[in-house]
A and B are shown apart, each in its own frame.
Chain A
Amino acid sequence: MRTLTKIGGDLLVWCGVYIAVLLIIGWLGRRAKKADTLSDHFLAGRGIGLFVLLFTLFATQYSGNSLSGFPGQTYRDGLSYFMSVTFMIGIVAGYTLFVPRLFRLSRMRNFLTPNDFLNDRFGSRTLHLLAVVIFIVAMGNYMLAQLMAMGHAFSGLTDGRIPYWVGVVGGAAVILIYEVLGGMRAVAWTDALQGAILGLGLVLIVVLLIAEVGSPATIIASVREVAPAKVANPGWSICFVWLSNFLLLGLGGPLYPQAIQRIYAARRVRELRRALATMAFLPLIAVTSVVFIGVAGIALFPDLGRIASDKITFKVLAHLVAQNPLAYYPALIVMMAVVAAIMSTADSCLLSLASIFTKDVAARIKGLDTHQSERFTGQAPIFSIGIMIVLVLLALNPLTTLWGLLVIKFEILIQLSPAFVLGTLHERTDPRAFSARDILTGLIAGLCVAITLYSTGHKMVGGLHAGTIGVTVNYLLVAGSRWVRLRRM
């Protein structure tokens, strides 16, 4: 009989096949290059169509954490973690606040990075510098987390046949090769493959759970018996956490540079509009599925501790395979989906980081304008390799103090929200437009509030995240600064 122990060997073979396909896609991406320019490398020549756009947005939004972290959190919090479905839709809803205008401006003025918009709109060197630091810290942390997750995934899923360090170094090398070869085309095409595996894996596991364990109503009835508090009506504190999570993700999620660059890379408004409209429905299936896995985990394994509950997806899979040999291959696909989700997020982070270093740092230091920097392509692979080496070294030797500083990424990334949401409200020549000083006043205050609260141990105050409180102060100060300025005019 096949068990999950045997799956490690088969997974090794399929991982090999999968990696070979990724490298072929990288090579195809290189062949498809149309020009030796930054926008061709980092934005696929601004020509991504509906199908690839949808899957690349999907795969980028769902990291390895979505497949293994969300079920673990559901296991610990119970049904109230259905909030994850709403906050993942919140990310898509957040796009409605600035993306239509941003896309138009990106076409008119050839934006490559999120900072291009900030420079074009506000023309402030201080804002540019702050935004670069925020983006690099947020993306660096996110990518580091993916590299470490990749090492753990390869090691855990193959029963240690692939050691942690080989998983980190090998996975990083594969991502680096296809990213340097094919740029955004390769990354988006591999995302399409990874998104398809992810979607298929999630649907399969839910079908198997319903067939083997029972309907949602049956599973919830079991949970009511073993852990009634996990299906009880949420209290006020959970409701505030729910709302705070929604604001944090809804305002911060769309600001990830890799998300903004996918907006820039869309071929036309029509395709981007359809892709985002479809994205609004995907969490209903994808995230509900992972919440369902967590709830089924409570019914199947009611007494797990925190660390063990983080592996609830694999425990549920092992249970399914033990119950029904037919579950073996779907379980294999789900495990591949975990690897795919991690790699698709890591490659997108790498591409965005390389573009920020190339355009916002190196080209700026050299004093190149938008037109001149388009030909500044020689630096891009050097930055990709450099970033990957630094992050791999950090993943192999995690520095606790550095890690402690970096985990606040979302709390600081969200502080750029007013710059994008309010910055796209008016033309820069409009006297009512928000000025760089308005935005900087709010940004600096928001950062101070969020970082101070976080570093003094107040990650949550009254159910609200430090970042949510910071961004509220931020928006209020931006509006206040503009009000005072307009009154003086």
Chain B
Amino acid sequence: MTDEPRRHRFFLIALALAILGTVPFLFVGRTPTLVLGLPLWLWSSIVFTIALSIVTAWGFIRYWKDEDFD
């Protein structure tokens, strides 16, 4: 049995959302806000960047199957 991450719509949607979330589009033109000493836009990017790592790793671990060469 073989499988790969890109065959799963849920993975691709999660990946796209995480990628878009890393870019601070929502903070353009807003007044800078600090949370625990760091700008809020940076916190947002950090959270989505961690999410991007998790989604990428999850894609490999969960959806990459290749019984012939595993």
On A, residues with C-beta under 8 Å from B are 79, 82-83, 85-86, 89-90, 92-93, 95-98, 100-101, 103-104, 107, 215-218, 220-221, 231-236, 239, 242-243, 246, 250, 268-270, 273-274, 276-278, 280-281, 283-284
Contact = CB atoms under 8 A, between A and B. Distances in A.
B56 A280 contact: yes
A417 to B, nearest CB: 13
Given A93-B15, A234-B27, A221 B37 contact: yes
A93 B11 CA distance: 11
Main secondary structure of the interface of B (DSSP, over half): helix
B60 A273 contact: yes
B61 A273 contact: yes
A268 B49 CA distance: 29
Interface in B1-17: 2-6, 11, 15
A86 B28 contact: no
A346 to B, nearest CB: 27
B57 A270 contact: no
Interface of B: 2-6, 11, 15, 19, 22-25, 27-30, 32, 36-39, 41-42, 45-46, 49-50, 52-57, 59-61, 64, 66, 68-70
B55 to A, nearest CB: 8
Nearest to B33: A233
Query: What are the 3 closest A-B residue pairs judged by CB atoms, nearest first?
Result: A217-B37, A100-B4, A277-B57
Nearest to A86: B22
A217 B29 contact: no
Given A216-B37, A220-B37, A239 B23 contact: yes
A233 B24 contact: yes
Contacts of A274: 61
Given A86-B22, A236-B28, A273 B69 contact: no
Given A104-B66, A233-B29, A281-B53, A220 B38 contact: yes
Q: Which of B5, B45, B64 has the largest number of chain A CB atoms within 10 A? A: B64
Contacts of A243: 23
Contacts of B32: 231-233
A239 B56 contact: no
Contact of A233 (B5, B39, B54): B39
